[in-house]
Amino acid sequence: MAEKQKTPLGPTGETVRQNIERIRQDKRLTYVELSERLTELGRRIPVLGLRRIERGERRVDADDLMALAVALRVNASALLLPSTAEGTVEITGAGAVDAKRAWQWADGRRPLHIPEDDDGTARMEFQREARPLGLRRYPPTEEGHQALKEEYGHAPIRRRRDGTLYREWPDGRREEFNPDDYNDE
């Protein structure tokens, strides 16, 4: 019987593997201790499984990734991206990307690529899909602010400290503003 060929890890899988090993060692956690933390969280990965992950012999699925992040006390991005904001990083599906932009993308702050002819709305549209209401940051630019005004009305849109948006009309009236209410989809 022919042996089943395993698909090699891609760049993100390799980064996850390296980060798990680095963070575990930085925190001076043994495989046993990390395995125990994962078991307490309800996502059992035995010591052998952790060793295989760090050697690149076992893939990390989405549930493993989240449990590992919780157990290592980091966010999922700390496992998914290289631990640098300098230079370029390899992102599965996107190729080589500026490291700082990759982190901003992973944090839901900006798209990986913004078209050159963007009128300032690319970030707004990205954040509408990537971040929950209250954590969105717009308008990102003066052009984006103008685009919002043109699309949603002429009253300036302002953001409170808690992240909620409101319109302030020339007569001083204020009303809550939810961009999702204006989504045509």
- Tell me what pLDDT residue 5 has: 57
- Tell me what pLDDT residue 109 has: 81
In SS3 terms, 3-14 reads as: CCCCCCCCHHHH
Whole-Å CA distances, 155 to 109, 128, 168: 25, 20, 6
How many other β-carbons are positioned within 10 Å of the β-carbon of residue 41?
A: 14
pLDDT tier, 164 (very low <50, low <70, confident <90, very high otherwise): confident
pLDDT tier, 185 (very low <50, low <70, confident <90, very high otherwise): very low
pLDDT tier, 183 (very low <50, low <70, confident <90, very high otherwise): very low
- Which domains are seen in the chain, by residue range? 1-107 (1.10.260.40), 122-182 (no CATH)
Q: How far apart are CA 56 and CA 62, in angstroms?
A: 16
pLDDT tier, 131 (very low <50, low <70, confident <90, very high otherwise): confident
Total-model pTM? 0.70
* Candidate ranges 4-13, 124-133, 166-175; pick with highest mean pLDDT: 4-13
Residue 97: CB partners within 8 Å, gap ≥ 6?
88, 89, 90, 91, 105, 112
List pLDDT tens digits, range 64-98.
999 999 999 999 999 999 998 899 999 999 999 99
Whole-Å CA distances, 7 to 57, 58, 95, 96: 10, 10, 18, 21
Q: How far apart are CA 179 and CA 185, in angstroms?
A: 12
- Tell me what pLDDT residue 174 has: 78
- Tell me what pLDDT residue 60 has: 96
Average pLDDT of the chain is 83
Reply yes or no on whether the pLDDT at 153 is more than 60: no
List pLDDT tens digits, range 44-65.
999 999 999 999 999 999 999 9
- Tell me what pLDDT residue 141 has: 56
SS3 96: strand
* Candidate ranges 8-17, 157-166, 174-183; pick with highest mean pLDDT: 8-17
Query: Which residue did the predictor score with more confidence, 130 or 121?
Result: 130
* DSSP letter assigned to residue 179: G
